Amino acid sequence: MNGSAWLAQLARLGADLLFPPQCSGCGRIGALFCPQCAQSVEGTPATVCSHCGRMQPAAVPLCTLCQQEIDPPLTLTRAAALYTEPLRSAVHALKYEGQRELAEPLARYLVASFRRPPVDGTYVQL
């Protein structure tokens, strides 16, 4: 670690001591997105349209809306999780309050959603 990196890390630690991170989901002190909030994020159900990602009563390759479209604009759309609390507050803090440190913990939900195989067996090359 060079001198400037060491100094930056020391400054971050000092700032955390003076202004400890606060969970964007529940307000607890100690982390920007605490383990309890991370565990309470609701995943998307497996019963979705493989094409558009809309929730369905059963998993289908094309829902009735996608079947009606001549040239659907999106394919293999996925939601990482349901947009409910505490995820909603964390996404809001990332987007509108500039808390970029939330990008890494929230990215884990995106990675998990891309690891799930789609209903029709089509995989996206990353």
Residues 29-50 have pLDDT tens digits of: 988 999 999 999 998 887 888 7
DSSP string, 38-52: HHHPPPPPS-BBTTT
Q: Which residue range is the domain that position 100 belongs to?
A: 22-44+79-117
Q: Is residue 6 part of a domain?
A: no
Residues 49-93 have pLDDT tens digits of: 877 878 889 888 888 988 888 776 666 677 889 899 999 999 999
Tell me what pLDDT residue 33 has. 94
Q: Is residue 125 part of a domain?
A: no
SS3 state at 102: helix
CA 96 to the chain's CA centroid: 15
The pTM is what?
Answer: 0.70
Give the number of residues written for the chain: 126
Q: Is residue 5 part of a domain?
A: no
Q: Is residue 1 part of a domain?
A: no
Quote the tokens at residue 5.
Answer: 């990196």
Q: How far is CA 67 from CA 49, 58, 73, in A?
A: 11, 16, 13
Quote the number of domains for the chain. 2
SS3 state at 22: strand
Rounded to 10 degrees, the C-alpha dihedral 79/84/85/90 comes to 40
